[in-house]
Amino acid sequence: MAMPVDMEEQYDRIYRYCYFRLHSRQTAEDITQETFLRYLENYACATAEQALKCLYTIARNLCVDAYRKKAAGEKCVQSGAEDTAREGEFAQTDRMEEQLVTGMAVRAAVAALAQDEQEILLLRFVNEVPAGTLAQLYGISRFAVYRRLAAVTKKFREALSREGLE
Amino acid sequence: MRRARRRERQKRLQQELKHVFEAPEPLRKRAFLRALEQPAMSTPAFVAAQLGYIRRWVWAVSTLIFAVCATAALWLPAQMLWVVSAFVPLLSLTAVTESGRSVQYEMAELEMATRFSLRSVILARMGILGLENLALLAGLLPAGVCRMGFGVAQAGVYLLLPYLLTAFAGLWAVRRLRGRESVYCCAGIAACVSVLSAALQGSAPQLFERSALVWWAAGVLVLGAGTAGQCVRLVRESAAA
């Protein structure tokens, strides 16, 4: 069965999610590809919602595995070199973004959030994952997702107003 | 006004969030997506999938025709040949109109852009319908042999000739005409063959004597070859449309 979602679009989103979790371009891309391969081998979802849930679940588990391996002492020199390279690649983009006051304020406001709060913000507002899929992904009710989103949004807005934006 | 400004601010914030979470360009995306083959589908799975696309009324009409012919064989053995000759062209009509559906609804171009080639889809559907019709005719054959005292070959040609005549003329019409016109034309052909077959039973009984069997067999061979040719042309023309 073909995938009920646009693979090209979802590749970017899953990759962005993995990169957010791991901060490594190489590992994020490896995990993104592994996610799609595992999905195609083991799942045949009929709806886009089910497919998204499967993709994010696989990606999250693979990210956790990669993180554990890294934490267990397998962090090698390559990782450090990779991060340096990444910083170099982003330097130009960062310089451009930092010229914009809004961009700086948003960045600071995001940084003020906890990791799990940043994750839900990324999934809902950047990757545009539906609330129903988030509920399945986190194993909570849809109302709980809305409550968590409202709390995170409130905290984010407060941080923005501290930066003088809202 | 305030709401519009707020919405615009929300949009800008969302854009900024996207920048904040932006990841560096993936390097191997194109190659991966290109190399990633669609999961293969076996032939039986493909045929089974096509089975679902054949409309329910086709199965319903086929079952009804078989039921009518079987009832005639049981209760009106003297009229069986008349009934079968009259109804078998309708069986052919269902198969022809269903096989030419992409052409009739002018969807051939769109279907060609899908995962499976239009050629394989039409061939699969034709194969399914052909087998189903063949099974129905084979089911009627023993009734013709037992109840009317015909030989197997005789009953076979009496069943096949009106079927093949309708299929041949119907496929020809589907290839020449587009849209609803082809359906009406096929229905007209089926009705003509049906009435003609039934009328010949009463007006020309000499056609159904053993001596005329060779002509029936020749007709079946010629029309069989012609129908096969029309099928090949329909598939080829649909795929090249």
CA B56 to chain centre: 12
How many angstroms separate the CA of residue A125 from the nearest CA in chain B? 7
CA distance A136 to chain B (A): 23
B21, A15: Cβ pair inside 8 Å? no
Given a contact cutoff of 8 angstroms between Cβ atoms, the answer to whether A34 and A76 are in contact is no
User: In chain A, which residue's Cα lies nearest the Cα of B15?
Assistant: A126
Q: Is A151 at the interface with chain B, CB within 8 A?
A: no
Residue ending a domain, choose from A69, A98, A127: A98
Q: Which pLDDT belongs to residue A88?
A: 53
* Partner-chain contact B17 A86, CB within 8 Å: no
Is residue A82 a part of any domain in this protein? yes
B37 → chain A, closest CA residue: A40
A29 close to A89: Cβ distance less than 8 angstroms: no
Domain annotation covers residue A166:
no
* Cβ pairs bridging A and B (under 8 Å): 70
Looking at A71, A98, A125, the residue that finishes a domain is A98
Q: Is residue A147 part of a domain?
A: yes
DSSP code per residue over B163-222: HHHHHHHHHHHHHH--THHHHHHHHHHHHHHHHHHHHHHHH-GGGGSGGGHHHHHHHHHH
Calculate how close chain B gets to A65, using CA atoms only, in Å. Answer: 20
Q: What is the DSSP letter of A160?
A: H
Residue A73 has a pLDDT of: 63
Mutate to test the interface with A, among B6, B8, B16 (most CBs of A within 10 A): B16
Tally of domains within chain A:
2
Do A85 and A111 reside in the same domain of the chain?
no
Using a CB-CB cut-off of 8 Å, the residues of chain B touching A126 are 14, 17-18, 21
CB–CB contact B24 A19 (8 Å): yes
* Domain shared by A72 and A149, yes or no: no
Which CATH number covers residue A111?
A: 1.20.140.160
pLDDT tens per residue, range B15-44: 888 888 888 888 888 888 887 766 666 777
Query: In this structure, are A67 and A115 located in the same domain?
Result: no
Nearest-angstrom CA–CA distance, B159 and B164:
9
Are A17 and A52 in the same domain?
yes
Q: Which of B13, B23, B36 sits opposite A106 (nearest CB)?
A: B13
Domain boundaries, chain B: 52-240
For residues A48 and A117, state if they share a domain.
Answer: no
- Is residue A90 domain-shared with residue A112, that is, in the same domain? no
Does residue B1 sit at the A interface (CB-CB below 8 Å)? no
**Structure token pair of residue B96:** 């022809």
For residue A84, give both structure tokens: 């340096």
User: In terms of Cα–Cα distance, which of A56, A34, A73, A162 is closest to A109?
Assistant: A162
Nearest chain B CA: its distance from A161 CA (Å): 13
Q: Say yes or no: ipTM exceeds 0.85.
A: no
Task: Give residue A76's pLDDT.
Answer: 45
In this prediction, residue A119 carries a pLDDT of 92
Partner residue facing B33 (CB), from A11, A28, A86: A11
B77 DSSP 8-state letter = G
Q: How far is the CA of B13 from the CAs of A74, A150, B8, B207, in angstroms?
A: 38, 16, 9, 86
DSSP string, B89-148: HHHHHHHHHHHTHHHHTT-HHHHHTSSS-HHHHHHHHHHHHHHHHHHHHHHHHHHHHHHH
Instruction: Determine whether the interchain pair A25/B38 forms a contact, defined as Cβ–Cβ distance below 8 Å.
Output: no
Kindly determine whether residue B29 and residue A15, on different chains, have CB atoms separated by under 8 Å.
yes
Domain boundary among A82, A98, A114: A98
> Which positions in chain B touch A36 (Cβ < 8 Å)?
32, 36
pLDDT, tens only, A133-158: 999 989 999 999 999 999 998 998 88
Decide if B27 and A19 are in contact by the 8 Å CB cutoff. no
- Same domain membership, residue A110 and residue A136: yes
Residue A165 belongs to a domain: no
Q: Is residue A37 in some structural domain?
A: yes
**CB within 8 Å: A15 and B26:** yes
> What is d(CA A22, CA A62) in angstroms, rounded to the nearest whole number?
10
Domain span including residue A140? 100-160
- Contact call for A15 and B23, based on CB within 8 A: yes
In which residue ranges of chain A is pLDDT below 50?
75-81, 84, 95, 97-99
Please report whether residue A35 resides in a domain.
yes
Q: Judge if A90 and A135 occupy the same domain.
A: no
DSSP structural state of residue B40: P
Please tell me whether residues A125 and A145 are part of one structural domain: yes
Residue B38 Cα, gap to closest chain A Cα (Å)? 7
Same structural domain, A70 and A110: no
**Rounded Cα–Cα distance for residues B180 and B56 (Å):** 19
- The closest of B174, B169, B175, B223 to B193, measured between CA atoms, is B169
Question: Is residue A131 one of the residues assigned to a domain?
Answer: yes
The pLDDT of residue A55: 92
CA dist B200 and B198 (Å) reads 6
Which ranges of chain B have pLDDT less than 50?
Answer: none
Residue contact A11–B22, C-beta within 8 A = no
User: Which of A10, A18, A33 is the best substitution to test chain B (most B C-beta atoms within 10 A)?
Assistant: A33
